[in-house]
Amino acid sequence: MLEAECHHTPTPMIRADLYLQRIDFLRYLPGSDCRECGASSCAGLIRGLKDGTLSPSDCPSLPDHRVAAFSFALRAREILPVVPAFELPRPGYPGLVEINNPVGDSPVLVSGNSQFTQEVVTTILGFTVSPFRILFVDCRGDTVDMAMLYQSLTVDRIYRALAGTEPPGSGKVMELILPGFARELERPLIEKTGWSVQVGPICVAELPLFLGERWRMAEGW
């Protein structure tokens, strides 16, 4: 008797949400609704950018660094690694990582130590020549959104992770940038440390827009 052939169709991988839809493009436009770009408003320009009918360079008010940052964020889906959804926490290396030879007052970007998060963050930072430090806080391998939900990313964990890591000669950490999901930690972290703390974007691909002239794109952008 012949056995029937079994054809197994691989189950398609479900991608994790990297929050690209949460990039707040509008905040980086002048808001003048001047129509010089060909759209009826700045909001209309954003719609045109997303559907490909307009380009960031169509806005006469955007400086070159902002045009490059818009182009980068709009192409982020092509750039970012594919991250699977519904994965158990995967702890990666915790600690302070230096990018592009930071100096004493270079910003410290705070993130969690999920391997997936680390891959996404380091991919984005591979497109800049600006100096940064990244603090991967030990949050048991949770992604930042889950770390806030499970309270594994806390003020105390950030403080302990930075103990003894202040840049030479600075006397303190000059500036910390929290991920957008960790907004609730901003005020208590300032009160505990006296450091300069601000809240960055929810989507890491928005960093070039958020940081403005402090983010210099690598050659080719």
52-68 tens-digit pLDDT? 999 999 999 999 999 99
pLDDT above 70 coverage of the chain, percent = 89
Query: What confidence score (pLDDT) does residue 9 get?
Result: 62
Q: What SS3 class is residue 69?
A: helix
Query: What confidence score (pLDDT) does residue 102 get?
Result: 94
Query: What confidence score (pLDDT) does residue 85 get?
Result: 81
Local mean pLDDT, 10-residue blocks, the chain (221 residues): 52 82 96 94 97 96 95 95 85 95 92 96 96 96 96 95 64 82 97 92 97 92 70
Query: What confidence score (pLDDT) does residue 14 get?
Result: 82
Domains of the chain: 32-79 (1.10.15), 95-214 (3.40.50.11600)
Query: What confidence score (pLDDT) does residue 169 get?
Result: 45
Q: Residue 93, exposed/middle/buried by CB under 10 A (0-12, 13-18, 19+)?
A: exposed
Strand partners, 1: none
With the CA atoms of 49, 76, 215 and 38 taken in that order, what torsion angle do they form, in degrees rounded to the nearest 10? 0
DSSP assignment letter at 98:
E
